[in-house]
């Protein structure tokens, strides 16, 4: 089959393209913005990319058009597809119909941490010999690709869940119900954003997972959700399709998720977090989160040492360990795998160090993620200066939905430079004032880089934060050093 994907350079749609290519389909695609890391992945797979949404970019002989959720009515390609009566579908629907059948789907949902937790879970399963498939909204460095079909994996030794831990491993077991026969696990980053211009349900309702991780829930996506309650309703739609003999792995510290569960829950729940009654907890043995002890129902079961930083990443690891345990991976094996985990592109990724200045690229889209990332870095670097270059690019950021929380989220930074493009619809002045002389703005990327070259000093840690391409600013700044 010949597919053309509209919005192909989005992290999700790029993963769909990679899966379609692996299945033997001919794939091409177009996007308004073509930038790494997804453009690099697609080009390496031999997928032809075109910049822009001109209708003539869609091959006349394409059997189907897969439409990303970034495209709306009025888009030239969308209008051409509709006018011609051509076959089209969404990325989530294509995945549900062409990849997930016959596989046991493990979905990772939440406002924050989806990409890292999905990558952790896929890596733990891979190290356990399960050969999982996955579709992740980023590029895990351990795999080098954002998506793969995966293989049949080892045949289960104790029902479909495979090897189950024994009491001798120091864990009180909650028996798993028998499940239908499956080929292997498929880990999917399960986004609550809507599916397409013609399907306004959250993408994750298409996946019908056997297990779902609910990492956290905060207000986000101000362009489509009026309030937290609207997002909670979508999460409850996800709960409704997880089978009774499946599993929910839920953050015990999140009151918004507790309210979702209170709407109705028909599936066994395991919790993780800092609450004393959480099933899975962690004791930080290093302040920056690089070493911690895993506790299961109050009993220490294993100690982890790894390269990631921050309490938030420790929570991501707990969720992945709990999910892997639910499908039969011994806790000791899951924790041991963390040592080799290499995170995800653009999650506090070190671009390099020059002139004693360390440069990072981080995918930042929400004040909570900004705060936790910087807190982890601060715990690691001590009193060294942290300089942040920020592009407020997400729809919620640009609409000003997070303006009140933005300055507090940057408390750990010693200096901040905002990219304040002329089209930014909210006044950044209040945020600048709230940072008490530690922040300034730049009207374009060139001006921002010039400010950073003036600010940066030997010993500094310079963090670029954006959920977009940022005009290649992190690499350009490092190259200038």
Q: What is the pLDDT of residues 81-102, one digit of tens each?
A: 999 999 999 999 999 999 999 9
- Residue 390 in tokens: 């920020």
Report the alpha-carbon distance of residue 238 to residue 204 in Å, rounded: 7
Q: What is the pLDDT of residues 218-252, one digit of tens each?
A: 877 667 778 889 999 999 999 999 999 999 999 99
Res 13: pLDDT: 94
Average pLDDT over residues 401-429: 77
Res 29: pLDDT: 95
| Domain spans in the chain, listed from the N-terminal domain onward | 2-91, 99-155+178-340, 349-480
Report the alpha-carbon distance of residue 209 to residue 212 in Å, rounded: 6
- Spell out the alpha helix ranges (H) of 273-394: 311-326, 331-337, 367-381
Q: What is the pLDDT of residues 15-44, one digit of tens each?
A: 999 999 999 999 999 999 877 667 888 888
Average pLDDT over residues 289-314: 92
Report the alpha-carbon distance of residue 82 to residue 74 in Å, rounded: 11
Res 424: pLDDT: 67
- Residue 285 in tokens: 């043995």
Judged on CB neighbours under 10 Å (0-12, 13-18, 19+), 212 is: buried
99-155+178-340 is a CATH 3.90.1150.10 domain: no
CATH of 2-91 among 3.40.50.720, 3.40.630.150, 3.40.50.460, 3.30.1330.10: 3.40.50.720
- Residue 229 in tokens: 């309650």
Q: Give the CATH number of domain 349-480.
A: 3.90.190.20
Is the model's pLDDT at 423 over the cut of 80? no
Higher pLDDT, 187 or 391: 187
Is the model's pLDDT at 150 over the cut of 80? yes
- List, in sequence order, every residue forming a beta bridge with 90; answer none if it has no partner: 67
Judged on CB neighbours under 10 Å (0-12, 13-18, 19+), 422 is: exposed
In this structure, how many other beta carbons lie within 10 angstroms of the beta carbon of residue 182?
Answer: 17
Percent of the chain clearing pLDDT 90 (strictly above):
62
Average pLDDT over residues 420-429: 71
Q: What is the pLDDT of residues 437-456, one digit of tens each?
A: 788 888 999 999 999 999 99
In this structure, how many other beta carbons lie within 10 angstroms of the beta carbon of residue 382?
Answer: 8
pTM: 0.77
């Amino acid at each position: 089959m010949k597919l053309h994907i509209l919005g192909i350079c989005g992290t999700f749609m790029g993963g769909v393209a990679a899966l379609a290519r692996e299945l033997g389909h001919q794939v091409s695609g177009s996007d308004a913005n073509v930038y790494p890391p997804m453009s690099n992945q697609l080009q390496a797979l031999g997928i032809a990319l075109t910049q822009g949404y001109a209708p003539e970019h869609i091959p006349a002989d394409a059997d189907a058009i897969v439409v990303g959720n970034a495209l709306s009515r009025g888009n030239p390609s969308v209008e051409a597809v509709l006018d011609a009566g051509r076959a089209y579908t969404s990325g989530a629907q294509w995945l549900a119909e062409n990849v997930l059948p016959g596989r046991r789907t493990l979905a990772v949902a939440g406002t924050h941490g989806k990409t890292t937790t999905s990558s952790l879970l896929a890596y733990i399963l891979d190290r356990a010999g399960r050969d999982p498939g996955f579709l992740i909204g980023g590029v895990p460095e351990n795999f080098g690709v954002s998506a793969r079909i995966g293989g049949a994996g080892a045949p289960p030794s104790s029902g479909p869940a495979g090897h189950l831990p024994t009491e001798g491993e120091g864990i009180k077991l909650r028996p798993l119900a028998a499940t239908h026969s499956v080929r292997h696990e498929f880990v999917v980053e399960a986004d609550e954003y809507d599916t397409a211009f013609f399907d306004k349900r959250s993408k994750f309702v298409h996946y019908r997972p056997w297990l779902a991780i609910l990492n956290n829930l905060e207000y986000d996506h101000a362009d489509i959700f009026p309030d937290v309650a609207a997002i909670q309703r979508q999460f409850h739609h996800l709960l409704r399709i997880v089978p009774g003999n499946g599993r929910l792995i839920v953050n015990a510290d999140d009151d918004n998720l507790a309210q979702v569960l209170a709407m109705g829950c028909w599936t066994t729940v395991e919790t993780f977090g800092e609450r004393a009654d959480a099933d899975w907890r962690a004791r930080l043995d290093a302040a920056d989160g690089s070493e911690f002890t895993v506790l299961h129902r109050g009993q220490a079961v294993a100690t982890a040492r790894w390269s990631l930083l921050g309490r938030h990443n420790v929570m991501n690891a707990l969720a992945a360990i709990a999910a892997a345990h639910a499908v039969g991976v011994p806790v000791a094996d899951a924790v041991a795998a963390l040592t080799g985990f290499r995170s995800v592109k653009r999650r506090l990724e070190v671009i390099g160090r020059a002139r004693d200045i360390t440069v990072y690229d981080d995918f930042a889209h929400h004040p909570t993620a900004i705060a936790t990332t910087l807190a982890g870095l601060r715990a690691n670097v001590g009193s060294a200066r942290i300089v942040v270059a920020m592009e407020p690019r997400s729809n919620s950021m640009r609409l000003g939905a997070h303006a009140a929380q933005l300055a507090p989220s940057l408390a750990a930074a010693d200096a901040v430079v905002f990219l304040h493009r002329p089209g930014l619809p909210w006044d950044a002045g209040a945020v600048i004032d709230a940072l008490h002389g530690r922040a300034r703005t730049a009207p374009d990327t060139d001006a921002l880089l010039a400010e950073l070259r003036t600010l940066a000093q030997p010993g500094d840690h310079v963090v670029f934060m954006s959920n977009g391409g940022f005009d290649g600013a992190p690499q350009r700044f490092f190259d200038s050093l």
